């Protein structure tokens, strides 16, 4: 198996693959030479802060063709969302034959009538390059990279329209000790949840920032109430957005939706950005300062789909009054404005 744009999740994804007896080639992007060299020389992954098991070989980006070789049976795409077009184009340049593909990268792109998920985007590019676009699957959480690398018990969902292909992937990668794979043919639903959860985890991190700047409560009260309020609003909005994209509510209420949102809220870049926004900082100042050089998937999604979301609300294709949280976050990110959460507009009664 070859993983392009391995990063932390791609590198962690390699662990159960190796434990299942496969050889894995990790290929970094042009920005990843430091950790690639570290893994190649010592096995130590500085971003995961652990040694990767034997059977994982690291390659620089210009060695992608060598890493693919003649015996690769699966290609995994794990670039961050900002690099999805680059990653897909890179595969199209180098692939010499048709390979099955599974995607770790999560996100959406806007188009005239709505939003396009990343498996569809990659399949479209493969098809344009004359390659087989029929076997582009994806994996969704809940799964934190560092815990997977440490072999913590993790449940994930593989998604593709063909159940037979999903069964083959599950047999290839799942195990009965810590990597538990479920499958879903609801690609639209799984991928909508996988993308939107990053966006909403950012919002749920905001109350932690309130706690940083407000005077302490006499009784030491925390901010669990407002965070729970936002969590519930996020699930409500994810249901609306997922069904708009043709997906099933079932996945919103299962691992790709509530499960992945919960684990993403426990920490990481989305939560840290949300916390700083809650403390009154502006998005661009945060990204130029304490989070310089980091890719925050929730913010990338807000920038990618925010204008389309407003347009769809303005056209009446989406109900603006039921997407108050999404619209507030998109406005703060895109306009570099203070994040003003419209608490009184959350949880409107049924229409």
Give me the active site residues, please: 197
Q: Say which residues have a Cβ less than 8 Å from residue 6's Cβ, sequence separation at least 6.
A: 14, 26, 27, 28, 32, 58, 78
CA distance 156 to 259: 10
270 assigned ligand-binding residue = yes
For 7, 144, 173, 308, the CA distances from 305, given in Å and listed in that order, are 24, 25, 33, 5
For residue 204, list its beta bridge partners: none
322 assigned ligand-binding residue = no
CA distance 14 to 26: 8
The tokens of 179 are what? Answer: 């990597």
Q: Say which residues have a Cβ less than 8 Å from residue 295's Cβ, sequence separation at least 6.
A: 80, 81, 82, 269
Backbone φ, ψ for residue 95 (5° rounding): -60, 130
7 assigned ligand-binding residue = yes
269 assigned ligand-binding residue = yes
8 assigned ligand-binding residue = yes
Which regions of the chain does DSSP assign to beta strands (E)?
2-4, 24-27, 44-45, 50-51, 56-59, 75-77, 101-103, 108-111, 114-117, 136-140, 154-159, 179-184
For residue 4, list its beta bridge partners: 27, 77
For residue 181, list its beta bridge partners: 156
145 assigned ligand-binding residue = yes
> Binding-site residues for substrate, please?
106, 269-270
> Binding-site residues, please?
5-10, 106, 145, 269-270
> Binding-site residues for NAD(+), please?
5-10, 145, 269
């Amino acid at each position: 198996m070859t993983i392009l744009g391995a990063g932390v999740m791609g590198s962690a994804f390699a662990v159960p693959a190796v434990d299942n007896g496969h050889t894995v080639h990790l290929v970094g992007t042009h920005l990843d030479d430091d950790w690639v060299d570290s893994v190649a020389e010592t096995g130590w992954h500085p971003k995961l802060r652990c040694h990767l098991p034997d059977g994982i070989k690291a390659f620089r980006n210009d060695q992608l063709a060598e890493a693919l070789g003649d015996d690769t049976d699966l290609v995994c795409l794990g670039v961050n969302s900002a690099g999805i077009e680059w990653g897909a184009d890179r595969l199209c340049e180098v692939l010499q034959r048709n390979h099955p593909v599974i995607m770790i990268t999560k996100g959406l792109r806007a188009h005239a009538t709505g939003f396009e998920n990343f498996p569809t985007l990659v399949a479209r590019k493969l098809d344009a390059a004359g390659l087989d676009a029929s076997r582009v699957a994806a994996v969704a959480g809940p799964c934190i990279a560092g815990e997977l690398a440490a072999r913590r018990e993790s449940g994930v969902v593989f998604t593709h329209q063909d159940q037979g292909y999903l069964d083959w992937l599950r047999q290839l990668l799942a195990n009965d000790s810590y990597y538990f794979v479920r499958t879903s043919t609801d690609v639209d639903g799984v991928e909508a949840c996988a993308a939107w959860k990053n966006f909403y985890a950012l919002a749920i991190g905001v109350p932690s920032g309130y706690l940083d700047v407000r005077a302490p409560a006499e009784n030491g009260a925390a901010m669990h109430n407002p965070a729970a309020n936002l969590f519930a609003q996020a699930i409500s909005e994810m249901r609306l957005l997922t069904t708009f994209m043709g997906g099933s509510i079932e996945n919103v209420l299962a691992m790709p939706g509530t499960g992945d949102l919960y684990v993403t809220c426990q920490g990481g870049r989305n939560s840290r950005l949300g916390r700083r926004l809650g403390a009154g900082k502006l998005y661009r100042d945060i990204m130029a300062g304490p989070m310089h050089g980091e890719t925050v998937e929730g913010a990338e999604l807000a920038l990618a789909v925010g204008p389309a979301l407003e347009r769809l609300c303005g056209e009446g294709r989406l109900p603006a009054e039921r997407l108050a949280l999404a619209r507030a976050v998109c406005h703060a990110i895109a306009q570099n404005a203070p994040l003003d959460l419209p608490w009184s507009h959350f949880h409107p009664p049924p229409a």
